[in-house]
Amino acid sequence: MYNKNHTKQSTRSENERKDTVTSVRMSKDQKQKIQQKAEKAGMPIGSYMVNVAANGGDKLTPETLVAFQNLINTACDAVKENKPEQAEDMQKGAFQLWQKLI
């Protein structure tokens, strides 16, 4: 359901907050392959590595879900306020999000 008073809220629970740092040793070839996959996924290399290791590479990350929700909220605002000029920006945003899912 659409909430006209929507605000950006964190979808992370206490146990999902990023407060630990670690390092990983890898070959240059491994780093290059990981970097390419991260770029294809539209993610920084660190976020990509954590996502793959912790979630099995599930593309529906909390960040992606928040982006979908924000896009939906924008669409609802555009329809409600009769601002069709925002339709192109919403289409581009939706396309970029879908690219992360495929």
H-assigned helices in the chain: 28-41, 45-55, 62-81, 87-101
Read off the tokens for 27: 């070959």
* pTM of the complete model beyond 0.85: no
What is the predicted pLDDT for the residue at 2?
Answer: 42
**Residue 29 in contact with residue 37, Cβ under 8 Å?**
no
Residues 6+ apart with CB under 8 A from 38: 44, 45, 47, 48, 49
**Residues 73 and 6 sit within 8 Å (Cβ to Cβ):** yes
Coil/strand/helix, residue 17: coil
How many CB atoms are closer than 10 A to CB 47? 15
CA dist 86 and 15 (Å) reads 36
Q: What is the pLDDT of residue 102?
A: 57
Q: What pLDDT is attached to residue 31?
A: 96
What is the residue-level pLDDT of the chain in tens, covering all 102 positions?
A: 444 444 545 555 555 677 888 999 999 999 999 999 999 888 899 988 988 888 776 667 777 777 888 888 788 777 777 777 777 777 778 778 777 765
